[in-house]
């Protein structure tokens, strides 16, 4: 019984990892994108990750919590909107 539980837990944990997107080899590194975001007025950047072919996350800009998408190669913001 313990072995079956261990196997199920292992399978569930690897299934979540398999669904996570990965940055591409030609993408700007995350720390450089965060620097670009800081130059654009973002602070307190959270939930920063590769998703659907771009960087995405949340941060504070002009005192408002915002969601953003950033270009994977340049780090420039391609869309942003207030978080709910």
Task: Say if domain 28-84 classifies as CATH 3.10.450.
Answer: yes
pTM listed for this prediction: 0.71
Tell whether the torsion through CA atoms of 23, 29, 30 and 35 is positive or negative: negative
Give the domain ranges of the chain: 28-84
At 18, is the secondary structure helix, strand, or coil? Answer: helix
Per-residue pLDDT of the chain (84 residues; tens, 9 = 90+): 554 444 444 444 444 444 458 888 899 999 999 999 999 999 999 889 999 999 999 999 999 999 999 999 999 999 999 997
């Amino acid at each position: 019984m313990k072995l079956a539980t261990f196997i199920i837990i292992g399978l569930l944990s690897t299934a979540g990892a398999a669904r996570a997107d990965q940055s591409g080899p030609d993408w700007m590194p995350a720390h450089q994108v965060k620097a670009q975001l800081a130059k654009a007025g973002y602070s307190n950047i959270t939930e920063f990750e590769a998703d659907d072919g771009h960087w995405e996350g949340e941060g504070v800009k002009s005192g408002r919590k915002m969601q953003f998408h950033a270009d994977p190669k340049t780090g420039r913001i391609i869309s942003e909107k207030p978080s709910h």
